[in-house]
Copies of this chain bind each other. A is one copy, B any other.
């Protein structure tokens, strides 16, 4: 169990202290951090776990199970992101969270956060902002569901690039911590469709795929694709 140990490193030494809400919590109950191996769960749906978790290192996916028992990925998280943001207003987790690679996460007690809000209006608005961002992120996922496979892949790559750019990596080299299958379970596409479209975008010269690293050679064209102008080349690739 990841969170059984003693409280780990102080917030002052944390690489993400600048964007972590835990720094506002110099309370009696210290935050706890944990290392996770690839494939380990941070929490599971139904856990009566009044916590949110800041990702300090690594990569995490959150997912739910669709009606037919299929894994449906809701978000990919990077350092600085919060797992369990949807737990505000609830007593148990509604999603599962699993480490995509060896990771570190820091656990923040929900009620501490909520209580701190009354004393700290800044924290309050930060939480509101985070939840509000989640609403809009989900809304844009709904938008994505109505795009073609090609559009989804293009948009996914651009989003990944943008996210990584925000973390200092500025070149158009996108590193994917997740498998093609994960991408499919996120975009609602079969693995084969993901693979085929990546291959296609490469043959069009828009991207260069090397394992889990993808170089965006022509972001301009990718954006056009994402906006609906289908790539002309040859017959529709379909799946």
Interface residues of A (CB under 8 A from B): 64, 66-68, 70, 72, 74, 86, 88-90, 94-95, 117-118, 121, 124-125, 128-129, 131-136, 138-139, 141-143, 145-147, 151, 188, 226-228
CB distance from A224 to the nearest CB of B (A): 11
With known contacts A72-B146, A131-B135, A188-B146, A228–B67 Cβ distance under 8 A: yes
With known contacts A117-B124, A121-B118, A88–B132 Cβ distance under 8 A: yes
Chain B residue numbers with a CB within 8 Å of A151 are 67
Q: B139 near A74 (CB under 8 angstroms)?
A: yes
List 19 other contacts, CB 8 Å, given A89-B129, A118-B118, A138-B138.
A67-B146, A67-B151, A67-B226, A68-B228, A72-B146, A86-B139, A88-B128, A88-B132, A89-B125, A89-B128, A90-B136, A117-B124, A128-B131, A131-B131, A134-B135, A138-B139, A142-B142, A145-B145, A146-B188
The list of the 5 closest CB pairs from A to B, nearest first, reads: A89-B132, A138-B138, A145-B145, A89-B129, A86-B135
Chain B residue numbers with a CB within 8 Å of A128 are 88-89, 131
Option from B118, B124, B132, B139 in Cβ contact (under 8 Å) with A131:
B132
Chain B residue numbers with a CB within 8 Å of A95 are 139
A118 to B124, CA, bound (A): 10
A66 to B117, CA, bound (A): 36
Chain B residue numbers with a CB within 8 Å of A72 are 142-143, 146
Chain B residue numbers with a CB within 8 Å of A124 are 117, 124
Chain B residue numbers with a CB within 8 Å of A89 are 125, 128-129, 131-133
Q: B66 near A146 (CB under 8 angstroms)?
A: yes
CB distance from A186 to the nearest CB of B (A): 11
Q: A145 near B143 (CB under 8 angstroms)?
A: no
